[in-house]
Amino acid sequence: MLGACIAMSGAGLAMADEDPPVRNFTTYQPTVRPVRIETSEAPVIDGKLDEAMWSKAAEVSEFYQVEPKVGPPSVETRVYFAYDENNLYVGIYAHDDMPDAILASVLERDGEIWRDDMFRFYIDPFNTGTSGFGFDINALGARTERLIRYGQAPVDAWNIIWDADSVLTEDGWTAEIALPFRSLSFDPASDGWGLMMTREHAHANEEIRWAGIDQSVNKFGFARPGYIEGIDDINKGKGFDVQLQAGIAGNRRWSQPRDDDLSIEPSANISYKFTPSLTGLVTLNTDFSDTPLDDRQINTGRFSLFFPETRDFFLQDAALFEFAGQTFAGAPNGQPFFSRRIGIVNGQSVKVDAGLKLSGEINGVEVGILSAQTGAIGNIGSQNLSVARA
């Protein structure tokens, strides 16, 4: 492994000695074409770039500093791309002249890894220029995935199946990412996906990007992305996913043992991808017990507080149900649809007995259909709440 790393570093240094090309960053949109490999060549995702397949993977190394100023970066970054029929593989080599100064403290999943030296890998499979999926990993292998939505903060409560890890090295750190195609919604007819890559060189207060080389371009968006092209003939899977859960509650009355009771609440979430770009979901007797808790807020105004949506069922393709882009970013009371109202009646939470959702793209047209049936509470009976958009 050491020999392989030294060889790779030497090649990178030779490239760094060359004069960088002159770029017009207002129109600059780089591209990369991942190299196809056999499934037998797939890397073990341990953060170490020691598999033979990385030596033939497509490489990008032209990164630029954006913060604190636009220009050449102080450190070298190389990213490698390969794919097989099941996954997209991304290898990251983050050189650092001061490896002992690397900030690496967060270990938990979905933790505050933005405080550490880290790498952001964001894709826009539908080329919307406004929304997509984000994957972050720090130098210790802690990771988070997020929904990127125009005009809003990234949604970290979103979760899918993917794999990633990283390791500290003598000259920086390296990482590996595997993204299963069956976990992603995408347009199979598209020539490419929007791609943004950002390295946070935290201990040097430096932000380094591959595309969007402009301080006015949001690193959490796709306003001026690069592109990943040439991915074809892949296994999208059956597209069928079932999650079964059960909540068990018991009540023991020590004074009257015969009055003990035990209740079981089963629930199910079923999803099916009719096409890679069209997903249907059904939820029954939904259990949101694993949903992240809201931060406590104090309302001193006359309008209601707007808490972000964190429930998986409603997060799927949530951007399709948004209206008017940033129009309501500072005035959420004007939003015609806000999914957090589903499951709340007169300030009290009610169960979602069932829900149905169809979202994605049909013949180039984005569609979103959502219907939820909530339970009764007090003198208010069961309600059906539905919304559709195209």
Asked whether residue 243 carries a pLDDT value surpassing 70, the answer given is yes
Task: State residue 343's pLDDT score.
Answer: 74
Residue 234 to residue 224: CA distance in whole angstroms: 27
What value does the mean pLDDT of the chain take? Answer: 83
- The residue segments making up the domain with residue 344 are 240-389
Domain harbouring 198, CATH code: 2.60.40.1190
Contacts of 169 (CB under 8 A, 6+ apart): 5, 99
Strand-pairing partners, residue 32, are: 228
pLDDT at 63: 97
Same domain? For 213 and 291 the reply is no
Instruction: Return d(Cα 115, Cα 94) in angstroms, integer.
Output: 16
- Give the residue with greater pLDDT, 341 vs 35: 35
Residue 184 lies in a domain: yes
> What is the reported pLDDT for 88?
97
pLDDT over 50 (residue 118) = yes
Instruction: Note whether 261 and 134 are same-domain residues.
Output: no
Q: Which of 13, 4, 46 is nearest to 168 (CA)?
A: 46
Per-residue pLDDT at 9? 42
Last residue within a domain, chosen from 229, 258, 280: 229
Residue 234, in any domain of the structure: no
26 is a domain residue: yes
- Shared domain for 207 and 340, answered yes or no, is no
Q: Is 131 domain-assigned?
A: yes
What is the C-alpha radius of gyration for the chain, rounded to an integer number of angstroms? 23
**pLDDT for 135 beyond 90:** yes
**Interval 9-29 mean pLDDT:** 64
Q: Which residues contact 58 (CB under 8 A, 6 or more apart)?
A: 32, 33, 34, 35, 80, 81, 82
Cis peptide leading into residue 266 (ω within 30°): no
Same domain, 261 and 372: yes
Task: Point out the least confidently predicted range of 189-193, 272-276, 332-336, 347-351.
Answer: 332-336
pLDDT of 41 higher than 90 = yes
Token pair for 196: 């943004």
- Please say whether the dihedral angle defined by the alpha carbons of residues 25, 28, 29 and 33, taken in this order, is positive or negative: negative
Q: Are residues 152 and 274 located together in one domain of the fold?
A: no
Q: Are residues 250 and 287 in the same domain?
A: yes
CA–CA dist 183, 374 (Å, integer): 29
Three-class SS of residue 329?
coil
Let me know whether 218 and 264 are in one domain.
no
Domain end among 182, 197, 229: 229
Do 214 and 244 have their domain in common? Answer: no
What residue type is 341 in one-letter code?
A: R
Over residues 261-315, the pLDDT tens digits come to 777 888 888 888 787 778 888 888 876 665 666 667 777 777 666 666 767 777 7
Question: 331 and 302 in one domain?
Answer: yes
- Residues 16 and 8: their CA atoms lie apart, in Å, by 13
Instruction: Kindly report the length of the chain.
Output: 390
Structural domains counted in the chain: 2
pLDDT for position 86? 93
Q: What is the mean pLDDT of residues 98-106?
A: 94
Final residue in a domain of this structure, among 196, 229, 262: 229
Q: Give the per-residue pLDDT at 90.
A: 98
Handedness of CA 168, 62, 36, 130 (dihedral sign): positive
Assess contact for 236 and 265: CB atoms under 8 A: no
The answer to whether residues 265 and 287 belong to one domain is: yes
- Note whether 156 and 262 are same-domain residues: no
Q: Provide CB contacts within 8 A for 33, sequence distance 6+.
A: 58, 81, 228, 229, 230
Residue 235 covered by a domain: no
For residue 18, what pLDDT is reported?
58
Query: Do 159 and 81 share a structural domain?
Result: yes
Does residue 11 carry a pLDDT above 60? Answer: no
> How many other C-beta atoms are found inside a 10 Å radius of the C-beta of residue 92?
23
Secondary structure class of 353 (helix, strand, coil) = strand
Residue 120 falls inside a structural domain = yes
